[in-house]
Structure 1
């Protein structure tokens, strides 16, 4: 009972530490798409309000003012549609149609309201930039701005007023265009952050599944073999059976430790220790084992990758072959660590019916590639099966130079 309490408290403390040390959740730090869309909407409503005030101050007849408000609502509806994220990806025919309608609603009232309606020309300029290809859009954008130079002539105003209207139209169009593009970029950034988070979760799930497969496959095979050996030894050799039971308990405890290391994202294995464990497992299975180990100091990630490769190779040997002999070689020579596992129990007709039967070698290829190594496996000379893994090891002098 006390052991379970210790394990539970350790898991809780580890979980709290992971939450504290994990990557920050930056989703809340990004401006929300809804807030980003509110800014261009508020700007557009502000320009529409200015136009309405100008029309009401112009002294036109009530019927003309009512017509102005209706036209203004129509332009606002089209502008909302053009400024929405993804509006530029609509079919070209539909974009041209809505732009033509907006151009009519903008240009025809200029004959009645003259300079009082000039703000709506800025909305048309923004829609041109949003919906058309850049060369055409910027050309028409300039035409709309230059058209405002001649508008004050209808009211008898000066050339300076025309320049002011041209500048105001171009600035209004550019501001609305920039705000709409900004809202679209924020929306894409928000979607991209969610996609990155989903990919990170998927990658962590794959890592967890791969590590569990590599760890528990070998451990459970060892427990099964030694349990069968204990079952055979109990009637005739109880003392040796007790010794094997102790080893089963040790393997089970080590498996529990490995699983917790996988869950916490931290796991290191030793190739030398795995060679000893593999020899013990193969001896228990009645397989003649020869080992050759000549290794120098290895970095933690190389040691773990090679140890995992040996563990998976031994697991496949026990599960998928009827070997009687096995040779394990782990040597370091000329800047390479070479791991070879050979056995004489290859079965060419073997087929694993499990849909996940090929995950082990796939995982090993992934691990070897990640550390800059290579992995080969398949039938070898004299009907044997060989797995070869080679990983380059940095020389001490180059390591020292990098450190310096």
Structure 2
């Protein structure tokens, strides 16, 4: 069976990434709480601005927490239009009122920058760039108009406050967007990992189903054929009928051994052994067998792969045709191994011969970098042609 990928370490990495994402959320909120603390430490704003800034700050914090809640339920979803309008108004008002309130009012631009990140998260890159340029230019331009009309009593250039506020707006949105992008990347990778695990499981189930079809389909077909032959010979040739029933027992036990080997992942097929078995079965059925080529020339993985191809071909010969002649050609050239099985006795309307088994065989050859061509011919024959390159896995 295919090796099962150990997901324990990967699961720990995903959990660690999510934990760091939550830590980032906490740090962002901490930064938002640091803004009023800094303003209080540097001096309370003018009385006319204190309540306005407090109300805007509470509204900004509520909008940011609301956006975090949206990301938790649907990470990466663009913000709704009402949220964009409300957040834009609060962010711009907070930056401008902050600049008008005190010389340290530029620090409120940090909150406006975080809110800008809430607005643009989930947008395409061009729209994000447009929003950042417009928001930065608006805060800088209107901030310069406000600070030129204010006297803070401190010898600072009037452009410094608006420039710092614009800088925070231009840069702090990255913190929010980068955190959301990181969390979304981790979530998508985790989802992809789980899908890969499910696909691997489904693929392994399909492989087991194909192998069981290969083992039991061939065995049951041989058992049915030889049992029918033994019943016909019972009154004519008792010794031969007994020999055929002993062969039925051998095939049944061999198939049981293969099923057990399949469970232990120790099953193997061999082209030479399958060719010997095919010769015995076809001789019992009175079908002329012509073999061209030597199975000993096929080596490596191709020996087992083509052995399975021959087994499925013999199953089709017994189940779907009434042949008088079967030809098996084995060829090795330019590092590639080829097996071709052709039988006659195929009636009209037999395009779907061996449909399930041949589809499974085609998938099996694809897995080993090979190619399968099978189908009826115009002269009442059916061919199974498998080619396996030297690079077969």
Q: TM-score, normalised by structure 1?
A: 0.78
Matched residue SS, 2:14? coil
Are 2:69 and 1:72 equivalent residues in the alignment?
no
Matched residue SS, 1:138? helix
Per-residue CA deviation, residues 234-289 of structure 1 (Å, 9 max, x unaligned), is 45544434433333233223222322333344433111111111111222333233
Change (3 A) 1:67 1:23: closer
The match for 2:371 is: 374
Q: Please report the RMSD computed on the Cα atoms of aligned residues, expressed in angstroms.
A: 3.5
The match for 1:386 is: 383
How do residues 2-401 of structure 1 correspond to structure 2 at under 5 angstroms? Answer: 22-25=4-7, 26-32=9-15, 35=19, 37-54=21-38, 58=44, 60=47, 63-64=51-52, 67-68=55-56, 70-80=58-68, 83=71, 88-90=76-78, 95-114=80-99, 115=105, 117-145=108-136, 147=139, 150=144, 154=150, 156=152, 158-159=156-157, 163-333=163-333, 335-350=335-350, 358-380=355-377, 382-393=379-390
Change (3 A) 1:152 1:258: farther
Residues of 1 paired with 2:94 and 2:335: CA distance? 81
Change (3 A) 1:78 1:55: farther
Residues of 2 paired with 1:86 and 1:308: CA distance? 49
Per-residue CA deviation, residues 76-96 of structure 1 (Å, 9 max, x unaligned), is 245426755856544xxx644
Residues of 1 paired with 2:370 and 2:121: CA distance? 50
Residues of 1 paired with 2:112 and 2:337: CA distance? 73
Which has the larger displacement, 80-89 or 316-325? 80-89
Change (3 A) 1:64 1:56: farther
Change (3 A) 1:377 1:172: closer
Which has the larger displacement, 320-329 or 28-37? 28-37
Deviation at 1:311, TM superposition (A): 0.9
Q: TM-score, normalised by structure 2?
A: 0.79
What is the aligned length?
371
The match for 2:102 is: none
Structure 1 runs, 4 residues or longer, greater than 6 Å off: none
Which has the larger displacement, 234-243 or 206-215? 234-243
Q: Which runs of 5+ in 2 are unaligned?
A: 100-104
Deviation at 1:390, TM superposition (A): 3.2
Contact map agreement 1:296 1:332 (CA 8 A) in 2: no
Matched residue SS, 1:30? helix
Which has the larger displacement, 193-202 or 75-84? 75-84
Change (3 A) 1:252 1:27: farther
Matched residue SS, 1:179? helix
Contact map agreement 2:342 2:383 (CA 8 A) in 1: yes
Matched residue SS, 2:346? coil
Residues of 2 paired with 1:332 and 1:112: CA distance? 85
Q: Which runs of 5+ in 1 are unaligned?
A: 1-17, 400-404
Change (3 A) 1:335 1:350: same
